[in-house]
Chains A and B, each alone.
Chain A
Amino acid sequence: MNLLDIANSALTSLWANKLRSSLTVLGIVIGVAAVISLMSIGRGAQASITERIQSLGTNLLFVQPGATSFGGIFFGQGSASTLTLDDAYAISDPTAIPSVSAVAPELSTFGDIVFGRENTSTQVLGVTTEYLDVRNLELSTGGFISQGHVTNRSEVAVLGSFTSETLFGLRDPVGQTIRINDRRFTVIGVLDSEGGGPFGQLDDQILVPITTAYYRLASERTTQGDVTVNLISVQVEDEDLMDQAEGEIATLLRLRHRLTSEDDFTINNQQDTLETLEETTDTFVMFLGAIAGISLLVGGIGIMNIMLVSVTERTREIGIRKAMGATRRDILVQFMSEAIVLSIGGGGIGVLAGIALSRLIDGRTLLGQNFETVFSGDIVVLALFVSAAIGLFFGIYPAVRAARQHPIDALRYE
């Protein structure tokens, strides 16, 4: 028998039992459609998480001071004051590390802010000019801290959108004078709203020149008189150069700090964070797919069930075919092909149904959740592959039973 004969014979006998065949196919259709739509939803969630992280820039390295411990008590990452503004300038020196495109050191402290009768208490972040670019921020009004402001320790401030609203309401803050810890600062700009991020509420903060923060606001000073920083964000030219840049920064800092054993700083890679998160969400997507896969499995059991019934019903046909010279293999192929036609047919319809369903869900709000779906070809390939495999797996036992029938017994079967 050639392939055409096999397909023809399978379709003919399935067509003879239309209702039964279509119900069996429906089991697979539902399974495949569930796999595709659930995995698209999962991929959609994954994409929106990744997008939020990427909006921060994936080519960032974060250098933090090491942990301090005092009398055996561990104070956590970044509690030491071992990084200085000069370290940041050294990293940004293109002759030292060419792959670094921008460096934004920051020093965070807290301050009481007063404007007129309004007051608030929030994070005051000492930054340099590069901060705006490196952190991908936008100004909604006014200007940003300039190099001159940093050099002159100017008492100027850029407000986060939430802080601006707290202090000024709908009035324009630019040019107004506020008090931070009883020092007068001129507001020169306001940031665009960023929403919540993985690094805290970015809208509720005040940015000032880093030197001003250190000399005028911060409570701690180093003995050497260097300006300390809490965090240095380093922008690398290319994502591929991240590892190289990380190594070079570490070497540079070890030299500058004259370290021989343990590092007094740590470097975190935005790419690593993203990868970890992607691994986690991948597991989540696979988990969703596996749950939907259970219904596919049930559909496969349906195929096996109906094929077993079919083999029993057609025992006489098997006997006739064997008397006419059909080998075991011929009979095996015949019944296997019916099972596979059922499963692949169901898989095909299921793919279309799944695509339609994920299109339908995309961008809609269901049960208070906003769903986004991302559909891709690999899910289709996976679903088709799994449904074909299920047809093979669940079709083989009935087919083997059919092929094993003894021709005489099969011919006599009533």
Chain B
Amino acid sequence: MIVLEGVTKVYSLGAVQVRALDGVDLSINRGEIVAVMGVSGSGKSTLMNILGCLDVPTSGSYSLDGEDVGSLDDDKLAYIRNRKVGFVFQTYNLLPRLTALANVELPLLYGRGRRQRRQRAQEALERVGLADRMRHKPAELSGGQQQRVGIARALVKDPAILLADEPTGNLDSRSSEEIISMLIRLNRDEGITVVVVTHSPEIAARTDRVISMLDGRIVDDTPVDRDR
């Protein structure tokens, strides 16, 4: 489903070259839920950007859902993001002027499949339990509710992969629990592939597999042993 082979990403900051990713090999199967851990600067954000087709590797190959996306141009990448990837951000990244419903409709504005936009957005909001908050603007919602709008927006196009970058980083423990439970439920019940970046060992322990990163490399990749 996701196959990375020797993926390297080099950024040039003036004269200095930074190897954000250094020969990463990784494969994630359909229906898996994977936690990515590591200190800041370890390359996990760069990995997420490449997984989410926001960026392309400097070298190496990346195939998503059977499609080689390592060397596509901007418009093709936009298309892949629209069809196959759902993003959940730490800071929610909702558009403040739009209602929850309009925010969820946003991915449906782009690319194909515009029909029944309103209805699909409503269904997505119902899936995250916000049927009664559709007309509210982000500022009128709690952090947990905003993140649920974010998840609904990520789900609305039925993506192959859901990428969550510290989705609970800005939330209190109760809302965090809600969001994590929701991600796990979406994975277990609906079979959506989830990759979640987190600093929390508790969250990591509830996933199938934990990947640890350091200096742009994967230093540990272990399945979670639930019986222990």
Residues on the A chain within 8 Å of B89, using CB: 411
Inter-subunit contact B95/A408 (CB<8 Å):
no
Contact, CB under 8 Å: A323 / B52: yes
Complex CA–CA separation, A319 to B93 (angstroms): 9
A327 within 8 A of B: yes
Residues of B within 8 A of A19 (CB): none
Interface centre among A316, A324, A327 (most CB of B within 10 A): A324
A319–B75 Cα distance when bound, in Å, is 14
Interface 0/1 of A317-335, CB less than 8 Å to B: 1011111111111100000
Contact status B52-A1, CB under 8 Å: no
- Taking CB atoms, residues of chain B closer than 8 Å to A5 are 109
- B94 CB to nearest chain A CB (Å): 8
Interface residues of A in 281-339 (CB under 8 A from B): 316-317, 319-330
Q: In the complex, identify which listed stretch (B79-87, B197-205, B216-224) lies at the interface while the others stay far away.
A: B79-87
In the assembled complex, which residues on chain A have CB atoms less than 8 Å from the CB atom of B106? Answer: 320-321, 324
Tell me the count of chain A residues lying within 8 A, CB to CB, of chain B.
23
Min C-beta distance of A412 to chain B, whole Å: 9
B74 contacts chain A at the CB level, 8 A cutoff: yes
User: Which residue in B78, B94, B98, B114 is a CB contact (below 8 Å) of A325?
Assistant: B78
Which of A16, A324, A408 sits near B110, CB closer than 8 Å?
A: A324
User: Least Cβ distance of A222 to chain B in Å?
Assistant: 90
Complex: A407 Cα to B83 Cα, angstroms: 16
Contact B95 A317 (CB under 8 A): yes
Q: Which of A5, A328, A329, A411 has the most CB of B within 10 A?
A: A411
**Inter-chain contact A13/B97, CB cutoff 8 Å:** yes
- B56 → A minimal CB distance (Å): 11
* Contact present for A1 and B75 (CB under 8 Å): no
Beta-carbon contact of B110 and A325 below 8 Å: yes
Chain A residues with CB below 8 A from B215, complex form: none
Contact assessment for A407 and B54 in the assembled complex, using a CB-CB cutoff below 8 Å: yes
Question: In whole Å, how far is A132's beta carbon from the nearest beta carbon of chain B?
Answer: 77
Query: Is B153 interfacial (CB-CB < 8 Å)?
Result: yes
Interface status of A12 (Cβ within 8 A of chain B): yes
Which residues of A sit under 8 angstroms from B83, Cβ to Cβ?
A: 325
Q: B110 and A1: CB pair below 8 A?
A: yes
Cβ of B107 and Cβ of A408 under 8 Å apart?
A: no
Alpha-carbon distance A330/B110, docked complex (angstroms): 8
Given contacts A408-B49, A408-B54, A408-B55, contact A325 B95 (CB under 8 A): no
Q: Once bound together, how far apart are the Cα atoms of A325 and B49, in whole Å? A: 14
Give A9 to B160 CA distance when docked, in angstroms.
28
User: How distant is the Cα of A316 from the Cα of B114 in the complex, in angstroms?
Assistant: 24
Type the 1/0 row for B90-122, where 1 means its CB is closer than 8 Å to any CB of A. 000111011000000011011100100000000
Flag if A324 contacts B49 (CB, 8 Å).
no
A7 to chain B, nearest CB (A): 13
Would you call A325 and B75 a contact (CB within 8 A)? no
Of the candidates A2, A16, A327, the one whose C-beta lies within 8 Å of that of B78 is A327
**Contact B107–A324 (Cβ < 8 Å):** yes
Give chain B nearest CB distance to A5 CB in angstroms: 6
Q: Which residues of A contact B153 (CB under 8 A)?
A: 324
> A320 to B107, Cβ gap below 8 A?
no
Contact with B along A120-139 (1 / 0, CB 8 A): 00000000000000000000
CB distance A327 to B93 under 8 Å?
no
> Which residues of A1-26 have CB atoms within 8 Å of chain B's CB atoms?
1-2, 5, 12-13, 16
- Contact of A325 with B97 in the complex, beta carbons under 8 Å: no
A411 in contact with B78 given A325-B111, A327-B110 (CB within 8 Å):
no
Question: Which residue of chain B is the closest to A2 with respect to CB atoms?
Answer: B114
Specify which chain A residues have a CB less than 8 angstroms from the CB of B49 in the assembled complex.
408
Establish whether residues B109 and A323, one from each chain, have CB atoms under 8 Å apart when the complex forms: no
Closest to A322 in B: B78
CB distance from B87 to the nearest CB of A (A): 5
Complex CA–CA separation, A209 to B82 (angstroms) = 95
Asked if B52 and A325 sit within 8 Å, CB to CB, the answer is no
> Residue of B at shortest CB range from A12?
B97
A78 to chain B minimum Cβ distance, whole angstroms, is 77
Given contacts A407-B54, A408-B49, contact A326 B110 (CB under 8 A): yes
Residue in chain B with minimal CB distance to A325: B82
**Which residues in A have their C-beta under 8 angstroms from that of B74?**
327-328
Residues in B with CB closer than 8 Å to A328 are 74-75, 78
Taking a contact as CB atoms under 8 Å apart, the answer to whether A323 and B54 are in contact is: yes
A201 CA / B55 CA spacing, docked (Å): 85
Q: Is A327's CB under 8 angstroms from B109's CB?
A: no
Q: Which residue from chain A places its CB closest to the CB of B102 in the assembled complex? A: A12
Q: Is the Cβ of A323 less than 8 Å from the Cβ of B81?
A: yes
Docked CA distance A12–B105 (Å): 15
Interchain Cβ contacts under 8 Å between A and B, 5 examples? A322-B78, A322-B81, A325-B83, A325-B111, A327-B75
**Apart from A323-B52, A328-B78, 14 more pairs, CB < 8 Å:** A1-B109, A321-B106, A322-B78, A322-B81, A323-B54, A323-B87, A325-B107, A326-B110, A327-B75, A327-B79, A329-B75, A330-B78, A408-B55, A411-B89
A interface, CB within 8 angstroms of B: 1-2, 5, 12-13, 16, 316-317, 319-330, 407-408, 411
Q: Which A-B residue pairs are the 7 nearest by beta carbons?
A: A325-B82, A325-B110, A324-B107, A327-B78, A325-B81, A407-B54, A327-B75
